[in-house]
Amino acid sequence: MNLFPKALLGSAAALVLSQCASMPGTANTKESYSGILPEIQAPASISYAGETYRAGYSAASSAGATVEYFRAGEGPKNWQRLMALRAMPQKTTPKDQAILMGRSAKAGAAAYSAPNGDVGFDSLIPKSNGGLEFSLFRFAPLPGTEGVKSLQYAEQIPRGNLDVPKLKALVAKHRAAMMKGPFPAISLKAGQ
């Protein structure tokens, strides 16, 4: 089920990840480019679609936490595929987060509900090199708060691989896998 009308999808210049709890530059944000900050409770690695992703970046602030996971040999500045976990403890809902993403997304975005109540959002973002970035988010309530957590899968799609049937198959494959698979836990430790 699409959660917002096509008119809401606009043509913003880029996907604004305003749902990201801790972005560099946010007041009192702590960052690590070598793993998970002590303030964050999250797994050191995530397995998804037959690959293992290890924590390579994290950030925490009063607004929440982000942990980004990369495949072996990749990192924050050189990745082809990544996973990310975010904790956003402020009062919001999974549906509200998907709508917020939709308002800032480039055309080619969709939001939908899963039978378990989680909400998904995906988009294809044109890149300056002629390729695309495919991003898929899954939002769910964040236990112990009025907020949400998100799980993201992102993949860089080179210019030469922009075959429409293949892109549709990629989106369908990851929608099914992300919405049905396990949702790793993430939280800020008490007092953060």
Report residue 155 as tokens: 């993949």
Q: Give the total number of structural domains in the chain.
A: 1
Structural domain range at position 53: 6-188
Residue linked to tokens 């090199």: 129
CA angle (189, 117, 154) in 5-degree steps: 65
Residue linked to tokens 């929440």: 64
Q: φ, ψ for residue 158 (rounded to 5)?
A: -60, 155
Q: What is the pTM of this model?
A: 0.83
How many other C-beta atoms lie within 10 A of the C-beta of residue 90? Answer: 13
CB of 55 within 8 A of CB of 35?
A: yes
pLDDT in tens, 148-189: 999 999 999 998 888 889 888 988 999 989 888 889 999 988
pLDDT in tens, 107-153: 567 888 888 889 999 888 888 888 989 999 999 999 988 999 999 99
Domain-located, residue 1: no
Instruction: Provide the 3-class DSSP secondary structure of residue 102.
Output: helix
